[in-house]
Amino acid sequence: MSTDRDHRIALWFGADGAGSAELPDDELACVTDGPVAHVILNRPARRNAMTARMWQSIAALAARLDADDAVRLIVFRGAGEQAFSAGADITEFREVYADAERTRRYNGDVRAAQGAVERLSKPVLAMIRGACVGGGCGLALCCDLRFASEDARFGIPPARLGTAYGPAETRTLLSLVGAGRAKDMLFSGRLLPAAEAYAIGLIDRVCPGGELEQQVADYARVLLANSGQSIRTAKRMVNALTGVDARLEQALHAEYEASFASADFREGYRAFVEKRRPRFG
């Protein structure tokens, strides 16, 4: 039986991809709909190219969403149909790379934004249409999961610009696709179609036709029905063991043991015994 929450989620994940809410004018917009926060890269006329100000805003936004107990899932998406993000806004390069100090500051802002997304305690899903390139691809890789439409394409082009990909971003890429495929992407700078990106593990799902919105909405319902505490603990463990968030094994084990004394575990166990769906807080 559908619920009011299901109805609210369905309103946002509409076939046109724009959602039912009116988007703010901000380049980085955030619309919170019940337990789901939609972070929109909101420059469709520029294929959602990332400005320095957008990178600077992400860390603070991530902190705010992490502290909001009402938010249980965060979805990053690009405005319009053409792109998740075509990468950094090249028109700013003359300014942000004008000298060594400004280069360090800009690259630091980008890395701070990506790290803030990686370390969010809540699940983060990238919903990808069209181009997902350069810094846009880096941002998508910081999300926990990536769902893409068939027309999506992915690329990391520093070799075509005479620069390099950062160590943290390269680590994430390597963990997803392995050394050989990471080198292929970095050496060639070529664009990968969604089918190939899925085959090598860069993305987690390819959605045919106009099904991207619906599949993301369906998956959101699955996550929201499960224990938020369990998901947060699993995410911290995976991040720690893959080097995203270095934590001592003892601390991880203590968190694992504590999960068995939690209200979520008591409810989950009772629901299993009583053959009903759990009602997590």
Q: Which of 152-166, 189-203, 209-223, 256-270 has the lowest mean pLDDT?
A: 256-270
Measured distance CA(9)–CA(272) in Å, rounded: 27
Quote the Cα angle for 240-241-246, to 5°. 35
- Enclosing H/E stretch for 75: strand 73-78
Q: In what order do the strands lie in the sheet with 192-193?
A: 83-85, 131-133, 153-155, 192-193
According to DSSP, the residues that pair with 155 across neighbouring strands are: 133
Query: Which of 182, 208, 218 has its CA nearest to residue 197?
Result: 182
Measured distance CA(235)–CA(242) in Å, rounded: 11
Measured distance CA(136)–CA(242) in Å, rounded: 22
Q: Which of 22-36, 79-93, 149-163 has the lowest mean pLDDT?
A: 22-36
Q: Which residue type, as a one-letter code, is found at position 128?
A: I
Burial 11-36, CB ≥16 within 10 A → b, else e: ebbeeebbbeeeeeeebbbbbbbbbb
The tokens describing 51, both together, are 């400005």
Residue 1 pLDDT > 50: no
The tokens describing 145, both together, are 């999961």
Query: What does DSSP assign to residue 277?
Result: -
68-119 pLDDT, tens digit each: 999 999 999 999 999 999 999 989 988 988 888 989 899 999 999 999 999 9
Query: Which of 137, 264, 105 has its CA nearest to residue 203?
Result: 137
263 or 52, higher pLDDT:
52
**Global pTM value:** 0.84
According to DSSP, the residues that pair with 132 across neighbouring strands are: 85, 154
Residue 4 pLDDT > 60: no
DSSP helix/strand/coil, 205: strand
Q: What is the mean pLDDT of residues 35-40?
A: 96
According to DSSP, the residues that pair with 206 across neighbouring strands are: 148
133-143 pLDDT, tens digit each: 999 999 999 99
- Enclosing H/E stretch for 149: strand 145-149
Per DSSP, helices labelled H in the chain are 4-12, 52-67, 93-96, 100-118, 135-142, 158-161, 167-177, 179-188, 194-199, 212-225, 228-241, 249-258, 263-273
**Residue 170 CA neighbour count, 13 Å, CB half:** 12
According to DSSP, the residues that pair with 50 across neighbouring strands are: 88
